[in-house]
Structures are given as C-alpha cells and as structure tokens.
Amino acid sequence: GAGVSQSPSNKVTEKGKDVELRCDPISGHTALYWYRQSLGQGLEFLIYFQGNSAPDKSGLPSDRFSAERTGGSVSTLTIQRTQQEDSAVYLCASSLTRARPLDQYFGPGTRLLVL
C-alpha cells in the first residue's frame, strides 16, 4: 500500500517568510511524528500526535514552530518567520498504535532551504 507522503519535496524560501509542510500518514496509522534532520545535528524529534490526545510538543525548537493534525490524518508543520538555521530536511513518520512496539515508517522528507 501507499507509504507516508510529504509535500513539497523541496522548498526554498526567503528569511522571514512562513512555510507550511504537509504529511499524509499511512492509512489507518493513528500516531504521527515530525523529525528534523539538519547538518551537524542529526535527526531530532519535533512533535508527536496520537489520536485525540494532546500532542507531545517537547521537541519544537521555538514558538515559531507549530503543527496540527486535522481529522486524525493529515498533518501540517508550520514555521513562521523562517530563519536560515531552519534549513533542514523535515521528516514525517507514522505508526499503527494497535500494534506493539509501534514501528515508525518514514516519508521521503521535505528539504527546506531558507535563503
């Protein structure tokens, strides 16, 4: 079946602009994660959604970052007033929480470049 999809694949923006990144999880997966992969920092957890529970936002680096998940499916990660240090690959993953131990399946990522 279809895997996790993300759009856009690449995004170039100017410093100070807002960007929205989209993630479509695997159908039926109730858990959704956002990670960021930047040079020198490796892969960092950003935020986690599970059903109707309050999201775990502990990984968001600043209040310029926010995410929402509508209808328990599609998620949007928004970065406001982008900075050059926001340049990274943003990865989305989903998992089927009826199964243990919740293997996460990753999307192809969105490559963000802030000029």
Partner 1 sequence: AQKVTQAQTEISVVEKEDVTLDCVYETRDTTYYLFWYKQPPSGELVFLIRRNSFDEQNEISGRYSWNFQKSTSSFNFTITASQVVDSAVYFCALRTQGGSEKLVFGKGTKLTVNP
Residue number, 80 or 106, with CB nearest to partner 1: 106
| Separation CA 79–CA 69 (nearest Å) | 15
Alpha-carbon radius of gyration of the chain: 14
- What's the min distance (Å) between Cβ of 111 and partner 1? 8
Assess 43 for contact with partner 1 (CB under 8 A). yes
| Separation CA 13–CA 82 (nearest Å) | 8
Assess 91 for contact with partner 1 (CB under 8 A). yes
Region of 15-23, 56-64, 68-76, 78-86 interacting with partner 1 (CB under 8 A): 56-64
Query: Which of 11, 21, 48, 82 is the binder for partner 1 (CB under 8 A)?
Result: 48
How many other CB atoms are there within 10 angstroms of residue 21's CB atom? 20
Cβ atoms of 94 and 74 closer than 8 Å: no
Query: Which of 12, 103, 113, 115 is the binder for partner 1 (CB under 8 A)?
Result: 103
Distance set, CA 19 to CA 33, 66, 76, 96, 110 (Å): 18, 11, 10, 28, 11
Residue number, 42 or 71, with CB nearest to partner 1: 42
Which residues of this protein are in contact with partner 1, per CB under 8 A? 31, 33, 35, 41-45, 48, 50, 56, 58-59, 89, 91, 93, 101-109, 111
